[in-house]
Amino acid sequence: MDDLTHANYGLSAGTQAHPVDDSDNSLPRAVLRPGNHFLLDGTWRFAVDLDDIGLTEEWAEGYDFTHTAQWPGSIEEHMAQAHTGGATAWQDKIVAWYEREFTLPELAESQRKTLFQLTFGACGYETRVWLNGQLLTTIEGESIHYGEYTSFTYELPEEYLHLNNRLTVRIADTMDAETTRGKQESHVYKRGGIWYQTYTGAVRSVWLETVERNRLRSRVGVVSTIEDQLVRFNLTLRVHDAGDYVVRLQVFDSEDVIGVKALANSDFPLRLTEGQHEQRLVLEIPGAEVWCPENPHRYRLVAQLIDEAGYVAQIEARFGLRK
């Protein structure tokens, strides 16, 4: 198996905004987060489950995979390379399994403050994931993730982790016309004309990263009201330790260097229970510039979740304002 590819070292530890260098952002997301991430792309073991027996026979507990495949990539491509019937072999349903090992990286921070998180940029249409034979559930509580175009994330329980770990993924798809697939072939829309061959499976990167137990997730929505110079930020908070927190928002010009005064900033005290929380927070940006093709002006948001002890979890994103 390929070695882990890693970047973005160092977790935030203070209340000062520390911009993240987006030139090293190798992850398929627009939001930047300080910390370690380890790409799990590369060579995986691979098998097509033509008779869909892998669940019954418990392949996640251990299976002799005879082929390899490159992640990310499509099941159709992997089938052709493995000579399992060619790229057009599946007609009604396809099930494929992938597996690889990885060595657990060392944490830069105390386990009390951080945890390991596993994220799939996109995969599907139906995806199940096992760690060392243990079925994982997403942060949203899904044991099966449905959808081929959205990312999904697992927090890895400490009791499931070993020094050397085995990650197993089962991906299934069908020709069901109710499945959203754009112009790809289905039972209703046959290949030909503008309807294309299916493209399914491990279509985007997968990575392991260290994140804070109490943090802002990598999801930021921006809604602007230019006339009032107001911007609403839609944030998702993930909290394991209930208590009093402060969300600090700071907006800079996109090219501002460290130490420059923020164009706008505000603190929002919150009492948070354990779980996931959606927050809509409004900030006034005096003299806000509108983004347009002739003047593609962008701002930089630094958002921090600060606990009662002053520990900071930070994310950063660029955004433009439109009417």
Q: Would you list the domain boundaries of the chain?
A: 40-211, 214-319
- How many CB atoms within 10 Å of residue 84? 19
Span 282-300, pLDDT tens digits: 999 998 889 999 989 999 9
Is residue 181 within 8 Å of 14, Cβ to Cβ?
A: no
Mean pLDDT of 168-192: 67
307 pLDDT above the threshold of 90: yes
264 pLDDT above the threshold of 90: yes
As a whole number of angstroms, the distance between CA 198 and CA 90 comes to 10
Residue 236 confidence (pLDDT)? 96
The CATH number of the domain covering residues in 40-211: 2.60.120.260
46 pLDDT above the threshold of 90: yes
Span 237-249, pLDDT tens digits: 999 999 999 999 9
Q: Which of 248, 237, 249 shows the shortest CA–CA distance to 299?
A: 249
Give the SS3 label for residue 87.
coil
As a whole number of angstroms, the distance between CA 99 and CA 60 comes to 9
% of the chain with per-residue pLDDT over 70: 79
78 pLDDT above the threshold of 90: no
As a whole number of angstroms, the distance between CA 151 and CA 29 comes to 9
Tokens of 318: 């660029």
12 pLDDT above the threshold of 80: no
Mean pLDDT of 44-50: 92
Q: How confident is the model at residue 45 (pLDDT cuts 50, 70, 90)?
A: very high
As a whole number of angstroms, the distance between CA 168 and CA 71 comes to 13
Is residue 108 within 8 Å of 210, Cβ to Cβ?
A: yes
As a whole number of angstroms, the distance between CA 48 and CA 53 comes to 10
Mean pLDDT of 254-281: 89
* Cβ neighbours of residue 123 closer than 8 Å, sequence gap 6 or more: 145, 148, 152, 169, 171, 201, 202, 203, 204, 206
Q: Residue 274 — left, alpha, or beta (φ > 0 → left; ψ -120 to 50 → alpha)?
A: beta
Which run of H or of E encompasses 144?
none
Pairing of strands 42-48, 93-103: antiparallel
Mean pLDDT of 80-105: 76
Class of domain 214-319: mainly beta
Q: How confident is the model at residue 144 (pLDDT cuts 50, 70, 90)?
A: very high
Q: Which residue has the tokens 């806000």?
A: 288
Q: How confident is the model at residue 207 (pLDDT cuts 50, 70, 90)?
A: very high
Tokens of 75: 């099941």
Q: Among 32-36, 235-239, 262-266, 271-275, which is the least confidently predicted range? A: 32-36
Mean pLDDT of the chain: 84
As a whole number of angstroms, the distance between CA 42 and CA 2 comes to 6
Q: How confident is the model at residue 75 (pLDDT cuts 50, 70, 90)?
A: confident
Is residue 236 within 8 Å of 276, Cβ to Cβ?
A: yes
In 60-193, the DSSP E strands lie at: 67-71, 93-103, 114-120, 126-131, 134-135, 145-146, 152-155, 164-174
